[in-house]
Structure formats: structure tokens, C-alpha cells
Amino acid sequence: MHLQKRILVTGGAGFLGSHLCERLVEEGHDVLCLDNFFTGTKRNIEHLITKPNFEMIRHDLVQPIFLEVDEIYNLACPASPVHYQYNPVKTVKTCIMGAIHMLGLAKRVNAKILQASTSEVYGDPVVHPQKESYWGNVNPIGLRSCYDEGKRCAETLFFDYHRQNRVNIRVVRIFNTYGPRMHPNDGRVVSNFIVQALTGQDMTVFGDGSQTRSFCYVDDLIEGMIRMMGAPDEFIGPVNLGNPGEFTILELAETIIRMTGSTSNIVFKPLPKDDPMQRKPDIALATEKLQWTPRVNLEDGLKRTISYFKAMIE
């Protein structure tokens, strides 16, 4: 049995946050789930509400909050282009004010804190696959900058709080993750394709479909985050977490059509601005330091995700 800790998960009602809360509750920790329900939903955590070691707090991280906790997982931020571009100023505020408020809390109560950063800090990478030492190729004034630069600045704050105030930090850079509880309208490729395939709509591929992505199943990602939180204090990251299996968008569309038995047609649309052509994590560091590698292959993960969306649509 693990030592019981009091753990705060910001963005805890979101896709990743709800899976993390569930895992921490199962491990017997006292879990505080904080969310303002901008993209998170109560449906994601309703099965946890009755648990004695789970608490829900409705709060917006742009405002400070005072709590007593041992560990903080800072996941609060809309993470899909549809949502983070809806109110870009709010996205930047959530990234930066949220980081400042959570780091201030960690400093005050001497808590360990993990930042959920993103592969988006690499922008449209000219280095492939992406190693943690790569500084990225990011447009600071584009439509995606509110998220990319917001997350980059959050990493800056984490390292400065660590150097200046000795806050015990961890930084993980998350690559495309998918699984049950993804938001059906978040514009991400896996949820988009599955919903389109199940409802018989045309499947929209941007560009010619030759751009690549690496898809990590949610359970694998949560395992990586928990291992990073438990890593020795001298290993603070940043560390890439993602599945290095690389697929073209067209391959993904064809796989989902086959797995759902869909009659959908694939249609091609122009590529959005600043959309990266290649995304693939180099996970050598995570493998070495955390003994972590993803276990769930794309077909198995898609099977579980498809059945979740099926139940939701019916």
C-alpha cells in the first residue's frame, strides 16, 4: 500500500485529469479535483463523487486558491485547438496565472508539483523525432501561440521557482493522447474520426493525410505521470511522454473505418495554419529514468475508445 497523500489535480474533470484522479483514488490517496468545467465535465468524474477519498472543487485557476496538499498535478488548461483558440486570452491566463498560483501554493505548503506540459512546446519541429534538448520552432504570434507559448512560459516559471525558491518540480511533455472520455467535439483527430465514422459522416482529413502523429493510450500516459511524480528529486525533467509509434493521418482514418465497419468517405480539406507535419517523441529519457514505455498498441487502444464513443452516441 502506498503512503496516503493529499493530492490536488487541477483540470481534474478533464479527459486526462479524470483518469489521473481515478487512478490516485484507487491507490487510496485523498484526491482534490479542481476544475472550472470550461472543457471538463462532471460526467467524467461522476463515478468518483461517492468515494470518501475524493473531493470536487469548482474553481478557476486564474484566481488563487489556498489548500493544504502534499502533491499537485497541474493539468488545468484547454488542450485542443478548438477549445484553446475559442478564448485565447483566457488560455494564456490559465497557463501562466495557473502556473504562478500553483507554484506559489507548492512553495507555501512545501508540496511537490508536476506540470503537464505539451509536445506543442516544440512547435512545427525541424528535428525528428523530438528530444527534450530540442528548443522548438514556434510561431509566437500565430493562432496556436496562446497555447504553445502559454505552456512554454509555464515551463519557464516552473524552472525559475525551482532555481529561485527550491520548489520541488516535475515537468512532463505530453504527446497526442487518446482514450475514453475524450471530448467528442474537441477537434482532435482520434475523437473526430471515431465520431464521424460512427455517425456515417464524411471523415475530414486536412492536407493530403501524409502528416504523422504518434498516439499514446491514456492509461500508459497516466502511468508515466505517476512514475515521474515519484522519481528521485534530482530528475525534474522535462521528459517526453508519448508513444513513439508513428502513423500518417490517412492510415489512422483507414484503420478507424475498418474497425467501426463504417461507410464514411474520406474527404480532404486544406491544412490549418501552423499545423505540424511530424510529431514523434523520443522517449529514451523516460525509458532510462522512469523505466517507462507505452504498453497499449494503437488497435487495442482504439477498440476501447470506439466502444466508449459508441455508448455515448447511442
pLDDT tens per residue across span 131-142 = 999 999 999 999
pLDDT number for residue 165: 98
pLDDT in tens, 84-126: 787 899 999 999 999 999 999 999 999 999 999 999 999 988 8
DSSP 117: E
Number of domains in the chain: 1
Task: Supply 63's cell numbers.
Answer: 484566481
**Res. 230: pLDDT tops 70:** yes
Query: Which whole number is the average pLDDT over 161-187?
Result: 94
pLDDT number for residue 314: 76
**Res. 310: pLDDT tops 70:** yes
Give me the amino acid identity at 26.
E
Query: Before 129, cis peptide (omega within 30)?
Result: yes
Q: What does each C-alpha distance from 138 to 83, 134, 165, 231, 311 come to in angstroms? A: 19, 12, 29, 30, 39
Residue 303 falls within a domain, yes or no? no
Query: Which whole number is the average pLDDT over 182-211?
Result: 90
**Res. 213: pLDDT tops 80:** yes
Burial class (CB in 10 A: 0-12, 13-18, 19+), 208: exposed
Mean pLDDT of the chain: 94
pTM score of the predicted model: 0.94
Query: Which whole number is the average pLDDT over 181-209?
Result: 91
Task: Supply 70's cell numbers.
Answer: 502534499
pLDDT in tens, 253-297: 999 999 999 999 999 998 876 677 788 899 999 999 999 999 999
CATH number (domain holding residue 128): 3.40.50.720
Residue 154 falls within a domain, yes or no? yes
Residue 183 falls within a domain, yes or no? no
Residue 198 falls within a domain, yes or no? no
Range of the domain at 122: 6-177+218-242+279-295
pLDDT in tens, 231-257: 999 999 999 999 999 999 999 999 999
Residue 187 falls within a domain, yes or no? no
Residue 159 falls within a domain, yes or no? yes
Query: Which whole number is the average pLDDT over 199-214?
Result: 91
pLDDT number for residue 2: 60
Rounded Cα distance, 193 and 115, in Å: 29
Above pLDDT 90, what percent of the chain? 83
Residue 124 falls within a domain, yes or no? yes
Query: Which whole number is the average pLDDT over 63-77?
Result: 97
Query: Which whole number is the average pLDDT over 40-55?
Result: 96
pLDDT number for residue 162: 98
Q: What does each C-alpha distance from 168 to 67, 150, 216 come to in angstroms? A: 17, 21, 27
Active-site option among 73, 84, 122, 147: 147
Rounded Cα distance, 197 and 243, in Å: 24
**Res. 83: pLDDT tops 80:** no
Residue 171 falls within a domain, yes or no? yes
Q: Is 147 a catalytic residue?
A: yes
Highest mean pLDDT among 19-28, 205-214, 270-279: 19-28
**Res. 76: pLDDT tops 60:** yes
